[in-house]
Amino acid sequence: MSLRKEIVLLLEEMAELMEFDGQNRFKVNAFKNGANTLRRLEGDIEEKINDKSIKDVKGIGKGLQQVIYEYYETGSAKEYEELLKKVPSGIHDVLKIRGLGAKKVKLLYKELEIDSIEKLEQLCKNGKVSEVKGFSEKSVEKILEEIKRIKKSSGYMLLSIAVERSKKIIEQLSNIKSIEKVEVTGEIRRVREIISKIELICSIKEEKMSIEEISKLFNYNEIESNTSYKVYKLMSEDAGEFILYVTSPDNYEKVLLQSTGSEEFLQKMRDPDNSDFSTETEYFNLVKSDFVIPEMREEHYFELPKRLREQTDLSSEHFNGFFHFHTTASDGNNTLAEMIDEVARTGFKYAVVCDHSKSAFYANGLREDRIAEQQKEISELNKISKIKIYHGIESDILRDGSLDYSDDILAEFHFIVTSIHSLFNLTEEEMTARIIKAVENPYTDILAHPTGRLLLSRDGYQVNIKKVIDACAANNVAIEINANPHRLDLDWRNLFYAREKECLITINPDAHSTDGISDIEYGIMIARKAGVQPKEILNCYTEEEFVKYINRKVKRKI
């Protein structure tokens, strides 16, 4: 999708959400008209964003500019996120049905409490919707057609969404007495960055009873059945469709192994169907292999040198340092004190705040005069804080690869995160050279979100990532796994290359609020998928080792 189309759709969606939320009509119209203006606007939108001339376009006021800039940089916008929170989540999907519109959706919500596509479909089919004023039989038919189309096209979801949904389902299933054990399997257990279907597995004591109880909780279809298990396709009202493998305690791990996959992995390892085993460990013994953790069970595994195949026990327990997060000084939602409280509570031993730099004007980046202000805030807070706070910055990489502060200013910080937030459309050669130059800057400690991809919404920029990794390794710069579930960038496939080159790795959720801190778990999951060991991660350094690291090239004022 082109950037123009992405932004137009965003503004339209926001207008719909605002209208549903009952916001001011003028504001709703401003967003609707803004979308139309951008749709027809001549010239290159990205250029207009980068040279800020978008603000001169008639009808694109301050509020819209803010959304456009934020979206361009992060793939989302604060105001949008807030709207999403205000409107029930099922309604977002209902609003996407063509030809319905916010007014009608609101009416259906009020009259029939329709707050999800599933419910809408059900009430269309049983004739309730056509009884509502303004809905004819014909319009109901159209809605049903649209629902069919949407269901077909919506393929993947973010890992975080799948994890959240499966947690809800597991909670419900755990209440069933005859279910002994239930957990995720399939793509979620293998930690794919995007998920095509939620798959769970449970072992049951008594088949008939369990199925009866499950069918009370969910609509269901049996889709496959053999001697050792049955597979059901089920529908949860608040978590959507999912697959459930139902098996006996004796066959549990066998079915768990099979359903975890991947198919390619098991085929290459050896088909478990013909082997006699009752636990996963037994299976790997049987096929004369070391145990392979579920996350690593991909075709990829067989191409790895032995050193990289080693399994990892990496978990949040190994983490000491929390880096690269934002506060209200730039575009975060919480103050530094609030962030540090939560970071300390989570168990980290030291923290490095890295707000946006001055080029990120849309994110209220720190101009030179505000750096000293933050420095003062930090030293005051350090007097009372449970953990030590270091002062870093996320400094924008400019077009020519230089950072957006002079060396004098960079020297004021303890830590420099560099990243690309603009001019995404350079050639691969230009982009690679630009990033490598930033990595070679002696002040640079971390290269953040190295490809700029946004999962399910935007591909990364064109860049030779291997050359970038080589440069990070050569310059002793840590490459980031950005743990924000929309990013998970660096991709796990490239992490193997980074490990091969002994490049230091860092995992950061790029938290913009206290809620975002726990997203670090998604980064850890991805790191495990690439077999990353604690000693390969900068965040696992003790504070002493960390201080040594930040002084490896330039003397920092500590």
Q: Which is nearer to Zn ion, 253 or 510 (CB)?
A: 510
Q: How many residues can be counted in the chain?
A: 558
Which of 11-19, 242-250, 329-337, 509-517 is the region at the interface with Zn ion (rule: CB under 5 A)?
509-517
Q: Which is nearer to Zn ion, 157 or 446 (CB)?
A: 446
Our finding on whether 394 is near Zn ion (CB under 5 A) is yes
3-state SS string for 507-552: EECCCCCHHHHHHHHHHHHHHHHCCCCHHHEHHHCCHHHHHHHHCC
Tokens 């913009």, located at residue: 512
Q: Are strands 505-508 and 478-482 parallel, antiparallel or unpaired?
A: parallel
As given in the structure block, the two tokens for residue 60 are: 């694109």
Q: Which is nearer to Zn ion, 203 or 327 (CB)?
A: 327
d(CA 349, CA 322): 8
Positions 526 through 555 that interact with Zn ion (CB under 5 A) = none
Report in angstroms how near the CB of residue 493 gets to Zn ion at its nearest. 22
Binding mask 435-464 for Zn ion (x = CB under 5 A): ------------------------------
Positions 133 through 152 that interact with Zn ion (CB under 5 A) = none
Report in angstroms how near the CB of residue 534 gets to Zn ion at its nearest. 24
As given in the structure block, the two tokens for residue 447 are: 């290269």
Our finding on whether 510 is near Zn ion (CB under 5 A) is yes
CA distances from 254 to 186, 198, 284, 387 (A): 13, 19, 12, 46
Q: Which is nearer to Zn ion, 69 or 245 (CB)?
A: 69
Which residues contact residue 132 at a Cβ distance below 8 angstroms, ignoring those fewer than 6 apart?
Answer: 107, 108, 111, 112
Q: Which is nearer to Zn ion, 50 or 130 (CB)?
A: 50
Q: Which is nearer to Zn ion, 135 or 323 (CB)?
A: 323
CB environment 536-555: b (16+ within 10 A), e (fewer): bbbbbbeeeebbebbeeeee
Task: Give yes or no for a contact between 186 and 260, defined as CB atoms under 8 angstroms apart.
Answer: yes
Which of 9-17, 241-249, 256-264, 412-420 is the region at the interface with Zn ion (rule: CB under 5 A)?
412-420
Report in angstroms how near the CB of residue 414 gets to Zn ion at its nearest. 16
Report in angstroms how near the CB of residue 73 gets to Zn ion at its nearest. 7
Beta bridge partners of residue 505, listed in sequence order: 479, 537
Query: How many positions of this chain bind Zn ion (CB under 5 A)?
Result: 3
Which of 96-104, 454-462, 507-515, 519-527 is the region at the interface with Zn ion (rule: CB under 5 A)?
507-515
Report in angstroms how near the CB of residue 525 gets to Zn ion at its nearest. 20
d(CA 512, CA 535): 27
Which of 37-45, 90-98, 190-198, 390-398 is the region at the interface with Zn ion (rule: CB under 5 A)?
390-398
Interface pick for Zn ion out of 418, 419, 444, 539 (rule CB under 5 A) = 419
Report in angstroms how near the CB of residue 464 gets to Zn ion at its nearest. 21
As given in the structure block, the two tokens for residue 270 are: 């050896």
Contacts to Zn ion by CB under 5 A = 394, 419, 510
